[in-house]
Amino acid sequence: MSAQRHDVSDTPLVTVIIASYNHARYIEKSVNSVINQTYSNIELLVIDDGSTDESPAILKQLQEKHGFDLRFQANKGLAATLNDAIERARGELIVPFGSDDIMVAHRIATQVEYMKGKPEVGICSANIETIDQDGRVMGPREQRKRNLPFRRLDFDDLFLDRKPGPMAATLMLRREALDKVGGFNANIRLEDVYIELAIARAGYFIDVLGEVLAQYRDHPTNTFKNGRFMVDNVLKTYEVFRDHPQYEKVCMNFRNSMVLKYANRDKTLTREILAEIPVKYWNKKTLRGIWRLISS
């Protein structure tokens, strides 16, 4: 029995959760990248969240071939879907994974090995390589998160943006940490930012490995390209932690970054954000954003 317990602890069960929504073009490669992991003790839960494209048919074919747990539901959003899946997940490590992204073959094995003997680490992440909608590796400008060095983050590192944060496409969450914070917040649609902050606030570290463990797909419907969605949900997430002494400054710094980011893309949104920033909080990003706004 002792040998058996040793084997289990050396190869803990990892539950990978893929919530799929209208990603028919990408879902097969995403699922196959999990099936083809070098690490074998994986429980794969796939949930189609009310897709209206060909995703359900593709998933049925994949399920018949590989035998993973597949469920279909009316659309309820990612955070609620993840929480439902976590309730029935059996793994001690949980990996929420995008239905448009691709894992490198040794991703799970690498992160499991790293997490061993580090109960203080609630989340393990890694670097990403960015690919386009056709799977081509994108140019150097899009690869800013490919060669970042290892870093350990606590809550203030993340909340105050003192170090580059973890990549959503590479998150591995300790089940104990998830349980401690009550899972994802179903009222916040930017689920990764919330869960990272919540787990770090609970006293865990987030360790980001300095190697590429996933390909992140850049395509027209990426969440980060919806400016209003990003602004509203990041600020809604920060509000959960409003008791932090630098809460107001954090929100203003974020707004300044968004002014600069969207000045050329969404002038209406940029003006709305700018109106919410008192002059005392203006910085170089604000001024550069204003210049872009009036000159473009």
Q: If you average pLDDT over residues 52-67, what whole number do you get?
A: 96
134-138 LR contacts (CB < 8 Å, sep 24+): 135/29, 135/102, 135/217, 137/215, 138/218
- Architecture of the domain defined by 2-217: Alpha-Beta Complex (3.90)
Residue showing tokens 């309820």: 76
Q: Is 295 buried (19+), middle (13-18) or exposed (0-12) by CB count in 10 A?
A: exposed
Q: If you average pLDDT over residues 171-193, what whole number do you get?
A: 94
**Residue 281 to residue 286: CA distance in whole angstroms:** 9
Q: Tell which residue, 64, 86, 65, has the closest CA to residue 15.
A: 86
Q: How confident is the model at residue 229 (pLDDT cuts 50, 70, 90)?
A: confident
pLDDT of residue 225: 59
pLDDT of residue 221: 60
**Residue 213 to residue 12: CA distance in whole angstroms:** 19
Q: How confident is the model at residue 113 (pLDDT cuts 50, 70, 90)?
A: very high
For the stretch 67-78, pLDDT in tens is: 999 999 999 988
Q: If you average pLDDT over residues 21-33, what whole number do you get?
A: 94
pLDDT of residue 8 exceeding 60, the answer is no
Q: If you average pLDDT over residues 109-114, what whole number do you get?
A: 98
DSSP labels for the chain? Answer: -HHHHHHHHHS--EEEEEEESS-TTTHHHHHHHHHT-S---EEEEEEEES--SSHHHHHHHHHHHH--EEEEE----HHHHHHHHHHH---SEEEEEETT-EE-TTHHHHHHHHHTT-TTEEEEEEEEEEE-TTSPBP-GGG-TTSSPPPEEE-HHHHHTT-S----GGG-EEEHHHHHHHTS--TT-S-HHHHHHHHHHHTT-EEEEEEEEEEEEEP-TT-GGG-HHHHHHHHHHHHHTTTTSTTHHHHHHHHHHHHHHHHTTT-HHHHHHHHHTS-GGG--HHHHHHHHHHHH-
pTM of the model: 0.91
**Residue 172 to residue 177: CA distance in whole angstroms:** 11
**Residue 152 to residue 140: CA distance in whole angstroms:** 25
pLDDT of residue 77: 87
Q: How confident is the model at residue 227 (pLDDT cuts 50, 70, 90)?
A: confident
Residue showing tokens 């649609």: 189
Domain ranges of the chain: 2-217, 223-295
